[in-house]
Amino acid sequence: MEIKLDDKIVLTLSETQVKILMHDISSDIFEEDIARRLKFIIMEKYQGCVKRIRQEWEPKLKELGKRTIPLDEEKFCEIVFECKGYADKKIRLTNGE
Q: How far is CA 6 from CA 3, 44, 65, in A?
A: 10, 20, 39
* Domain of 79, in residue numbers: 2-94
pLDDT of residue 10: 96
Which of 11, 89, 87, 77 has the alpha carbon at shortest distance from 47?
A: 77
Per the structure, the count of domains in the chain is 1
pLDDT of residue 4: 94
Contacts of 18 (CB under 8 A, 6+ apart): 1, 30
Q: Own/partner pairs for 60-68, CB < 8 Å, 24+ apart? A: 60/85
Q: Are 14 and 8 in contact (CB under 8 A)?
A: no
Q: Residue 7: CA atoms inside 13 Å, Cβ hemisphere, count?
A: 0
pLDDT of residue 43: 98
pLDDT in tens, the chain (97 residues): 999 999 999 999 999 999 999 999 999 999 999 999 999 999 999 999 999 999 999 999 999 999 899 999 999 999 999 999 999 999 999 998 7
Question: Which pTM does this prediction carry?
Answer: 0.83
Q: For residue 31, count other CB atoms closer than 10 A to its CB.
A: 11
